[in-house]
Structure 1
Amino acid sequence: MSIDKSWTTNPYRNHPEFQAGLKAFIEKFKSHLDSNGKIRCACEKCDNRYFKYPTAVERHIFINGFSKAYKIWIYHGESFIPPVVLPSNEMVDLIDDVMWESRENDTNLDEGTSNTRGSGVDDDFAQLLEEMETQLYTGCIFSSLEFLAKLMHIKVNNKWTNSSFDQLLELLQLAFPKGNKVPLSLYLAKKKLKSIGLGYESIHVCKNDCCLFWKEHDSLQVCPVCKESRWIDKNTKGKKVPHKVLWYFPVTPRLRRLYCSRHTAKNMIWHSTRRSEDGVMIHHVDREHWQDFDKKNIPRLLE
């Protein structure tokens, strides 16, 4: 059920709308009192940092106003995760765009010959769509692919270590009902996301940032500049761990994806389709220098 929050932005606190909304807020969330009979104060000054009695909270909000930063009332019973309707059309569109791009690449590479990949692209497409339409477990609001994308997003935002993420996946496997679609490891999770264009390359970096152990330096064991070892422990008998790792997101496939996706292509070609037609400059693209650059370089790029 949606919660009416319109009253919180009313600047006139004597207004009947604000006062009615405030009283409803206090009454509704009295069920979230702590053991001392207090709730978090959502006024602009306290911003949920302090617990107070409901009457004090009502007084604070009336005097200081409602916290502008408090959009989702998670401290007063509102769910942080909004309901999701399956399937997500945007995710399906993304998968469709990826598969279309793959088919186009196959056509360009094998033009005039039979496709050496056979029906592999179609098989991948069918598998991804199945993942998109399959619930993580029976009754779950997320599909397995959607859950994985959200989980990896949280991992990156909060800088979780790979080992902690693997441990979380193991816990989720045990906590969720049997037959769930939680990936067994980070490796399998990244492999699946890479199939929809969300992968990256790991490149080792010198501990002093002198160089990348990449291309002509890929096989080096020490930095060619400062002579520091590439590894934290070069004598380890197990898998060697580099001092630093750079996550490289290749530019070319991402630019190609931006032009292929129906969600972003219109913005990528804006400079060509939205130029001024009445001689009035509305953007730098309408300047003589920009147009002169296009005349000189676009024909060469199209050759």
Structure 2
Amino acid sequence: MDKSWMTINNRLTSKEYQQGVKSFLDFAMENLGVEDDIRCPCVDCINGTKYIKQVVWMHLIRRGMPSSYLTWVHHGEHVPVSRPSASNDQCGGSGECMTDIDDPPMDELPIMLEEIYVSGLMDDHTDEEPNDLEREDLHKFTRLFEDAQRKVYPTCEKFSVLSFVIKMLHLKVYNKWSNKSFDMVMQVFKDILPECDQTVPWTLYDAKKFLRDLGLGYETIHSCKNDCALFWKESGNLEKCPTCDTCRYKLNDDGGKKIPHKVLRYFPLTPRLKRLYMSKKTAADMRWHNEKRVNDDILRHPADGEAWKDFDKQHPTFSDDSQNVRLGLVTDGFNPFGNMSTSYSIWPVILMPYNLPPWKCMKEPYCIMSLLIPGRSAPGRNIDIYLQPLIEELKNLMHAAVMWTINDFPAYGNMSGWSTKGYLACPNCNNNPSSQGLRSKIRYMGARRHFPENHTWQTSKLFNGHTEHRSKPLDLSGDQILEQIDSGTYKPYGKHPQNRK
């Protein structure tokens, strides 16, 4: 069998090398027997780890096979009789000499690229012609991997083109650089770096476009300036709001590019959840709540709480799989310009994966930005309009559930639809409140009703001169709350002046 392809250096683009890898995998599969995994002979695994066929193919394309592994003894090839037995002893009995392998250790960026690509290999494509989408994915991976290996300039030992761009964008966000300042700094680097690579993106626009293949992008969805509706799906091509008939774009007398009044930025959730399972470390952490959590009735993690346990009882099929994702949702408004006197309120919607251990699940690297709702004013109850893309994706996810939301009281009112103002402001009391008018204020004087029955304070008149005989409000089930919502009448969404309260 021809094995000359093993010495080819240009593995990513050489058709001869890729055909050789295919022939090797075909040979290994024929001699595999009942097993499904193949020993990986790449320069890092050295036949010590077994993987599925697609992963072995990926390792050989990226890392290569040692040229000393001439007899594929771990994959069904017999050792020639004329071959001295001492050769195997010199190679440690593994069929390849360890001293011939002198590849430098990989950094984390190529590993991440490999995990992103391998995670998309759902079928075996080594035995059949790839389709257009698969060719495009392979082309993206090849380009990104080459950028991860290419130096910014020939003598640079610190950064590759890809790691340099990621580092500069990280500095921009962390230090709150403006777009203009980022372009100016990059231009200075371009002027002082000797013989820099021509493929380095030197503007913010090119840098974002450069990283789009890593799955770090977002979708832009136009919205009505009165928060009535999104120009999305069936309304995506409309020029006016389907609710209030307001123009979608700002007036532009110059006839140039149309500028929308408001733009919702939506970060798809599914690829970000997949990324948590692309790495062996985070994949193990995502099962921590079931496999490593100590169940000793001490509250250390949401999985120790009553809400989590009650959810498991109601949905046993979901809870049986520890890889299913439990999410918490949080949103609130803030002023992005750091000046509280400026009237502006932008609302991020963030999801936290509570599968992770308690020392990780609330940390910044694991918080998933889902929506960035534009200002100037708070969306109020119209936040429901902006939540539509996220809600639709959550409905389609069979292995993820939102357990709860984290909000202050005004944001809780926006998210739940229950008014947190007036006589019916208490969500626990529902339509049986204990509120009373006191001059120009509303007071809530019925806290004693929450005490156990026959408590001495319920019959005492020392508080307000009256006894308390009412029982605490009933806890409504989810179905009762939904029925109550359906029976209500609400004003149309949006802040159009014609909408009445």
Report the TM-score range of the alignment, normalised by the length of the smaller protein.
Answer: 0.5 to 0.7
Once the two structures are superposed, residues 153-186 of structure 1 have per-residue CA deviations (whole angstroms, 9 ceiling, x without a partner) of 3444566565665565555434433343421544
Once residues 216 and 164 of structure 1 are traced to their aligned partners in structure 2, the CA distance between those partners, rounded to angstroms, is 39
Of 218, 243, 247 in structure 1, the residue corresponding to residue 265 of structure 2 is: 247
Normalised by the length of structure 1, the TM-score is: 0.57
* Aligned length, in residue pairs: 212
Residue in 2 aligned with 1:128?
A: 144
Once residues 181 and 240 of structure 2 are traced to their aligned partners in structure 1, the CA distance between those partners, rounded to angstroms, is 30
Once residues 233 and 142 of structure 2 are traced to their aligned partners in structure 1, the CA distance between those partners, rounded to angstroms, is 35
Confirm whether residue 96 of structure 1 aligns to residue 117 of structure 2.
Answer: no
Residue in 1 aligned with 2:170?
A: 153
Identity %: 38
State which structure, 1 or 2, has the greater radius of gyration over its C-alpha atoms.
2
Q: How does 1:7-86 map to 2 (within 5 A)?
A: none
Q: Deviation of residue 249 (structure 1)? A: 0.7
Confirm whether residue 116 of structure 1 aligns to residue 125 of structure 2.
Answer: no
More strand by share: 2
Q: Using a 3 Å threshold, how does the CA distance of structure 1 residues 196 and 295 change in structure 2: closer, same or farther?
A: same
- Letter of the 1:144 counterpart: V
Of 274, 281, 286 in structure 2, the residue corresponding to residue 256 of structure 1 is: 274
Q: Deviation of residue 293 (structure 1)? A: 3.4
- Letter of the 1:291 counterpart: D
Once the two structures are superposed, residues 255-291 of structure 1 have per-residue CA deviations (whole angstroms, 9 ceiling, x without a partner) of 1111222342222222232244xx6235443554243
Once residues 122 and 215 of structure 1 are traced to their aligned partners in structure 2, the CA distance between those partners, rounded to angstroms, is 30
Q: Using a 3 Å threshold, how does the CA distance of structure 1 residues 238 and 165 change in structure 2: closer, same or farther?
A: farther
- Letter of the 1:129 counterpart: F
Normalised by the length of structure 2, the TM-score is: 0.37
**2:154–2:195 CA contact under 8 A, matched in 1:** no
- Letter of the 2:314 counterpart: F
Q: SS of 1:247's equivalent? A: strand
Once residues 320 and 257 of structure 2 are traced to their aligned partners in structure 1, the CA distance between those partners, rounded to angstroms, is 51
Once residues 179 and 238 of structure 2 are traced to their aligned partners in structure 1, the CA distance between those partners, rounded to angstroms, is 25
Residue in 1 aligned with 2:235?
A: 217
Q: Using a 3 Å threshold, how does the CA distance of structure 1 residues 119 and 212 change in structure 2: closer, same or farther?
A: closer
Once residues 252 and 206 of structure 1 are traced to their aligned partners in structure 2, the CA distance between those partners, rounded to angstroms, is 26
Once residues 87 and 152 of structure 1 are traced to their aligned partners in structure 2, the CA distance between those partners, rounded to angstroms, is 25
Once residues 234 and 289 of structure 2 are traced to their aligned partners in structure 1, the CA distance between those partners, rounded to angstroms, is 38
Confirm whether residue 281 of structure 1 aligns to residue 297 of structure 2.
Answer: yes
Q: SS of 1:216's equivalent? A: helix
Q: Using a 3 Å threshold, how does the CA distance of structure 1 residues 241 and 170 change in structure 2: closer, same or farther?
A: farther
- Letter of the 2:131 counterpart: T
Larger relative contact order (CA 8 Å, sep ≥ 6): 1
Shifted more, 143-152 versus 201-210: the winner is: 201-210
Q: Using a 3 Å threshold, how does the CA distance of structure 1 residues 196 and 262 change in structure 2: closer, same or farther?
A: farther
**2:223–2:264 CA contact under 8 A, matched in 1:** yes
Residue in 1 aligned with 2:249?
A: 231
